[in-house]
Structures are given as structure tokens and as C-alpha cells.
Structure 1
């Protein structure tokens, strides 16, 4: 499976909003762009998709920014990717000609449908809260890394 930059940035941005806005304040696109090293303009496009899917809310102005629209425990990776990855579960073209539809049917029934279901199940089990906890754990582990 290949996740586009929009999908990767969407996930990273949502983790940042959850971390930086943990006390309820709004987080600016500029602060997220600087933290992640991502173009502000591109990040605004990602946030537009996240807002359209009602995963974040925003306010404009000097004190404006974004915050999660619901607790991070209630937002799944699946929801985030569905918001920003328009073609994530797009049906692919057939693999064979009309004369070999039994082969196409076997591929669909035994591989493609099962693969789609496994991806949906896996992404639906992981929450934004899980990602934040893992990121925090990785960050705290960095403090104790020694290089020789």
C-alpha cells in the first residue's frame, strides 16, 4: 500500500495538533509547519480536507488555528486517511479481459477484498491517541540515547 504525502502529512499534522493543543488551545498552521518541516501552503490544503471531514475545527485571526473536533481517543487513523486520501480505497481496473472473468473473480474474492478488509480493520483500530502516546514514548526515549 502506498500512502501519498497528503496522507503522511495529514497523520503527522493531526498528531501535532493533539500534542500542541492538548490543553484546548488552537494550534497555528505555522507552528505545525515549522515543527514538521512541511510547506505551510501544502499543510493548509491538508487542513482544509481535515476540516471538511469534521476532524478539526478552526478559528481565523491572530489567535486562530486548529484544534481537534473530538477527543483523540475517538479519532482513528482510518478516519484521517479517508479524509485526506481521496483514492485510498478506490477500486482498481480489472486485471484480465472479459474472456477470463473467473480469474478476475478469484483475485477479487480471495485477495483484493480480503486485503481491503484487513487494511480497514487495522487502520480502524489505531487511534490518534495511540499515535500520540507512541510519539511521546519515542521522544522521551531520545533523551536517553547516547552515541559513541
Structure 2
């Protein structure tokens, strides 16, 4: 299974936003800069995360993005589904019922075994993603990454975060 680059970008942005102080925000342009992405490309994914209520968008010149809920309550599955959609990655087209050897529909009473196997794998994949919280990703990074990488990431977030008056804006 191949996920789009937007999933990686979305997870990295959410992890970065987990590091901003309190009600502070970070502009989308800064997030795009942090990961070398086009701002317009990233905005599409930030909007998906906002629509899924993973992020909150604060309007205005001092606005930006922040997590809509604590990182402990956001899973990788939440982010993947926000970006890729809720449909399973495999969609059975019942091609066994096409072509020169197709039979009457009554010959296909049993569900397709390929579809069943793929959906079982999808459930396992989603269950594994549901077990990993954004806070786990951030904690693992802070604990195990090269100290230079941690320092650079923290400094970038500190430089680009914008203080907000309150969450009711």
C-alpha cells in the first residue's frame, strides 16, 4: 500500500504543532518552510486536518494553526483518515464477474476471497495506526533523535509560533 506524501506532511505538521506553547499558533507558510513543501500544497492538507478537527485554524494576520485537541487524543489513524479518506485502500471491483469466463451472478454467492483478505489486512493496518498517538511520536523523537535535530526543531517552532489571546478567537 502506498500512502500519499500528504500523509507524511500532515503527521510532521501535527507533531510540530504539538510543540507550540499553549494557545499559540504557527502559520501554514512556516510549516511549509520547515519541510520544504509548497505552501499551496500543504494548505490543502492543513485544511483536511482542520475539517477533521485535528487542527484548529485561527484567522487573521497573527493567526495560524494549532492542535484542536491534546496530542494524546490524536492517533496516526485520525491523521491518515483525514488526508486519505475513510474508504479502504483496496476496493474490490468484482472483476471475477467480467471477461469471457464470467458466469451468471448466482455463481458468485460467496464473497470474493481476495476482497476478504485485503479487508482483513486493512483492519490490522488501521488497528496498528489507532494504537499510536501523536504524543507517542513526539516523545519518541524528543527521546531518541539526534540532539541537533531536536534543538533545530524546537528552535524553529519557537521562532515561528504566534501567541494568541485565547482559544475563543
TM-score range, shorter chain: 0.7 to 0.9
- TM-score normalised by length of structure 2: 0.73
Deviation at 1:85, TM superposition (A): 0.7
Correspondent of 2:135 among 121, 129, 135: 129
Residue pairs, 1:22-61, within 5 angstroms: 22-61=21-60
Q: Given the superposition, is the C-alpha separation of residues 88 and 23 from structure 1 closer, same or farther in structure 2, using an over 3 Å criterion? A: same
Q: Given the superposition, is the C-alpha separation of residues 53 and 94 from structure 1 closer, same or farther in structure 2, using an over 3 Å criterion? A: same
The answer for unaligned runs of 5 or more in structure 2 is 151-169
Task: Measure the CA separation in 2 of the matches of 1:142 and 1:56.
Answer: 24
Q: Given the superposition, is the C-alpha separation of residues 102 and 108 from structure 1 closer, same or farther in structure 2, using an over 3 Å criterion? A: farther
Larger RCO (CA under 8 A, 6+ residues apart): 2
Tell me whether 91-100 or 52-61 shows the greater mean CA deviation.
91-100
Report runs of 4+ in structure 1 exceeding 3 Å deviation: 98-104
Deviation at 1:126, TM superposition (A): 0.6
Deviation at 1:113, TM superposition (A): 2.1
Instruction: Name 2:121's counterpart in structure 1.
Output: 115
1:109-137 residue CA offsets vs partner (Å, 9 max, x unmatched): 3x112101101100100111111122222
- TM-score normalised by length of structure 1: 0.83
Instruction: Name 1:4's counterpart in structure 2.
Output: 4
